[in-house]
Copies of this chain bind each other. A is one copy, B any other.
């Protein structure tokens, strides 16, 4: 088989796995504290769009559903099998999978390649069985796949969004896979799929990059990587994917302690940091560090597009805010160019109040000014021609005192309107930290504001440093400064 054919077959297999139409869970359980229990509950709550067969030698029923003693007892060959039994018990299951002609197997358990010589042997044997049985493996040591279209989910993912989207996230960490899917929902992100692939014994970064890179329904790919077995293949796949769509990469494992962590986590060789720097420093690749940055860049991309530009007009009510914004912009390689003549004159005319400064940073004099004036100022700011992105820090704790909670909702609506009518990319910093466990109204309003802003395609960030960093990362290392 030629290499390109193999690549095509691998992508086709991933397609069938991610879009599975029938599912078996081996190790299904309802005993508290077991991973199989969480997995079963997650899949059933999510409501997989096809038959879900529960398998456990104990038989019986779980949540009113029949439990089959073995894969061999199922009435059909399931497209996908989740194997949630301990590592040493998994090989017989894989043999059964081979008999049943499945497309793919998600191997959940740890105790394979990351766990020393015995585990290595098990992993090798699992791979051989898969090859002979004509199916592919995701994992081992992973949480599975989330796809809102067929309502396949990972653990714990009972409450993930069922709205299909265009963000693909591939992750060697199950925890971060679940975290990104869950937080993504709260940030208004919708997913094409999230794949937790752990050790990547069979299918790994290279394969998922290729698949989602070619997938027309995928608008952006994000990845959490610990390492790869195939540096060359990864590089090729990354180049091909990045040529077609943005790829956000979070690569961990820089120092000695991190390398130790990565080896014991997924058995990956982290690789030398300078090598990765070279690989990731290319056009179309947005390099991030941390789950917060990763999510922030996805939010920024969704609302501001790829590479919106480095010229920011910062707006805030207070001189300290502006000074901090300018420092951050300097640090992150963004520019705060002076206003153009027209916008400058218009803003000077509008902002005659004490404390206001019609420049960039643009100080509107107070965290909140009367709404008609605020709207006019934001329109003029959006119209300024030296600006790629308008970034507004609402100083929301202070503004809420001035404008009241309902007033803040009006502010959010106003910003959405200005964004829609001017077409200017716009980002807002919203933070609040009230003290009292019984004073939750500000938090409720904050969440409402966030969803109003996101519906209006205004990107929302929880702090000024995170906003500036996201805008900077969004241009990618490979873009001109």
Contacts and interface: CB of A to CB of B under 8 A. Distances in A.
Interface of A: 33, 35, 38, 86-87, 109-111, 141, 156, 171-176, 178-179, 182-183, 185-187, 224, 226, 252-258, 260-262, 264-266, 289-292, 317-331, 335-336, 354-355, 357, 359-361, 363, 367, 370, 395, 397-398, 401-402, 433-438, 440, 443-445, 447-448, 451, 463-465
B435 A326 contact: no
A328 B35 CA distance: 30
A477 to B, nearest CB: 17
A373 to B, nearest CB: 11
The 4 closest A-B CB pairs, nearest first, are A265-B319, A173-B320, A255-B330, A258-B326
A115 to B, nearest CB: 9
A437 B447 contact: yes
A359 B448 contact: no
A186 B435 contact: yes
Nearest to A367: B175
A224 B320 CA distance: 9
Nearest to A331: B254
Nearest to A226: B323
A445 B266 CA distance: 33
Given A330-B257, A401-B156, A438 B444 contact: yes
Q: Count this chain's copies in the assembly.
A: 2
A37 to B, nearest CB: 11
Nearest to A395: B175
A255 B320 contact: no
A122 B397 CA distance: 33
30 contacts: A35-B354, A110-B355, A172-B320, A174-B320, A175-B318, A175-B320, A175-B321, A185-B435, A226-B323, A254-B331, A255-B327, A258-B323, A258-B327, A260-B326, A261-B319, A261-B359, A262-B319, A262-B323, A265-B320, A265-B322, A290-B324, A290-B463, A291-B324, A435-B447, A437-B445, A437-B447, A438-B444, A440-B440, A440-B443, A443-B443
Contacts of A141: 355
